[in-house]
Amino acid sequence: MTSRDGYQWTPQAGLTQGVPSLGVISPPTNIKDTNEPWDVIVIGGGYCGLTATRDLTVAGFKTLLLEARDRIGGRSWSSNIDGYPYEMGGTWVHWHQAHVWREITRYKMSNALTPSFNFTHGVNHFQLRTSPNASVSTYMTHEAEDDLLRTALHKLTNVDGNNGRTILPFPHDVFHVPEFREYDNMSYADRISQIQDELSPNERATLEAFILLCSGGKLENSSFGEFLHWWAMSGYTYQGCMDCLISYKFRDGQSAFARQFWNEALGTGRLGYVFDCPVASVSDGDGDGSGSDVRVTARDGRVHAAKRVICTIPLNVLSGIRFSPPLSAIRASAAQAGHVNMCTKVHAEVDNQAMRSWTGITYPFNKLCYAIGDGTTPVGNTHLVCFGTDANHLQPEEDVRETLKAVGELAPGAFEVKMLVFHNWVKDEFAKGAWFFSRPGMVSDCLEGLRERHGGVVFANSDWALGWRSFIDGAIEEGTRAARMVVEELRPERGVRACL
């Protein structure tokens, strides 16, 4: 089935909106009576909401899932086009991410992963361009690429003479590490200024392109402390960073994984759902979580009530929902400021088969600064996944010629583009940005407040996870936490034994 989300471009058909996805749910609802009593309402069908919904229904609770889109997956979903999965948002997973791996093993999908890289044939090199002059490129082996970025990242993260281990020995606990606040308050630009004399020009260009790929923001508005947290979660090493962030994806796409959560929840017979249902307001009558109904009103006026609500709406969207009682000052302030990630992600199918073993950086002049040849389509073409940041301001559907130009700048004259596939997260009203990445000081100042209870409403989202914050693993972590909290509160009155 075809989702309203996403875009596809080919030379023959031009630009079309909407792409096929396994995540599309039909029919869009299975309930007829909005007055039907529910134990819990879950707002949002991304991995956080899917995890919470699955856990609640398995534990015996009647659960209503409300989703603004026509599909599940939230910011992690895939489109299968001509037999090839294009990851529109969150993509990579790893067995070092405990929550996501628990679910992979639960659904017997440990053999469903495929490596992103295959450097056994083709051009087999890394291409670095720091100038718009097409004749100026630096070529090196992937081993040399690794050495270049490894050296630069170790200079960036070695704030304590121990590659960050001393500052963040327990990366899930930043609340009790006073030293972390110093680095969280730093921007990327602040930290690079400290080490600029230690970096060669190629090291600096490669480092900046990579860390901006991680934040999707700008050097001036991205928290160095948040990247240090990513580094710590990856085991304080370059190889761990590469393994966890960008090396393994699902052979059949993220939507095939999300479907497993959905199917299990639906199979319990305790799941109600309404898609195409953006939420306008959430009202907790007593505001104390005492057990009175929490009411959720959709934009079309439909009202649903439950004993508890789990709200998984992303940070950048929260300020558009009316809450009664109002959000806490910390949560409201963080939602108003938002996170910084305005990443552009564009898939390009190109006719050069040898590019399957190519990686490239075009920074700082190009609107797409980082790209990887990470797949071969069924017709034998190469799939490139390309990224731009907030500093580049590429809106791919608004000017396809500009998008094609940016793709071509990655390796001028090396290929012809046969297809583009993308989702514009910046213009997406239910995301307003890509994965979470914090502003300087945001985690130190707001993380605890974002995780606080709000009467009968539990807020859960990867944006404020403790571990792999902003990752699929963080979404599952938060969905698990929220469901467990609600189950423990409602279990005594229902006599239900949780299966969590």
Domain spans, the chain? 2-8+17-79+253-337+431-490, 121-248+344-422
Other Cβ atoms closer than 10 A to 320: 14
Q: What is the mean pLDDT of residues 40-51?
A: 98
Sign of CA dihedral 171, 483, 72, 397: negative
Say if CB 138 and CB 127 are below 8 A apart: yes
Q: Yes or no: say if 311 and 44 are a contact pair by the CB < 8 Å rule.
A: yes
Give the relative orientation of helices 254-267 and 98-106 as an angle to the nearest 10 degrees: 60
Average pLDDT, integer, range 391-418 = 93
Residue 398 has pLDDT above 50, yes or no: yes
Which run of H or E residues covers position 178?
helix 178-184
Summary mean pLDDT of the chain: 95
Contact 295, 282 (CB under 8 A): yes
Flag whether 68 is marked binding. Answer: yes
Cα dihedral 279, 280, 284, 288 sign: positive
Q: Is 67 annotated as a binding residue?
A: yes
Confidence of residue 287 (pLDDT cuts 50, 70, 90): low
Question: CB-hemisphere CA count at 13 Å for 304?
Answer: 31
Q: Could you tell me the fold of the domain covering 2-8+17-79+253-337+431-490?
A: FAD/NAD(P)-binding domain (3.50.50)
Q: What CATH class has 121-248+344-422?
A: alpha beta
Of 62-66, 169-173, 219-223, the poorest mean pLDDT is in: 169-173
Q: Consult the annotation and say whether 317 binds a ligand.
A: no
Does the annotation place 145 within a ligand binding site?
Answer: no
Q: What is the pTM of this model?
A: 0.96
Maximal CA-CA distance, the chain: 72
User: What is the C-alpha to C-alpha distance for residues 69 and 82, in angstroms, rounded to an integer?
Assistant: 23
Any residues with CB less than 8 A from the CB of 310 and at least 6 apart, and which? 40, 41, 42, 43, 49, 52, 457, 458, 460, 479, 482, 483, 486
Determine the pLDDT at residue 498.
44
For 183-238, how does the pLDDT look when each residue is reduced to its tens digit (9 = 90+)?
999 999 999 999 999 999 999 999 999 999 999 999 999 999 999 999 999 999 99
Confidence of residue 493 (pLDDT cuts 50, 70, 90): low
**Predicted local distance difference test score (pLDDT) of residue 481:** 98
Domains 2-8+17-79+253-337+431-490 and 121-248+344-422 share a fold: no
To the nearest whole percent, how much of the chain has pLDDT over 70? 97
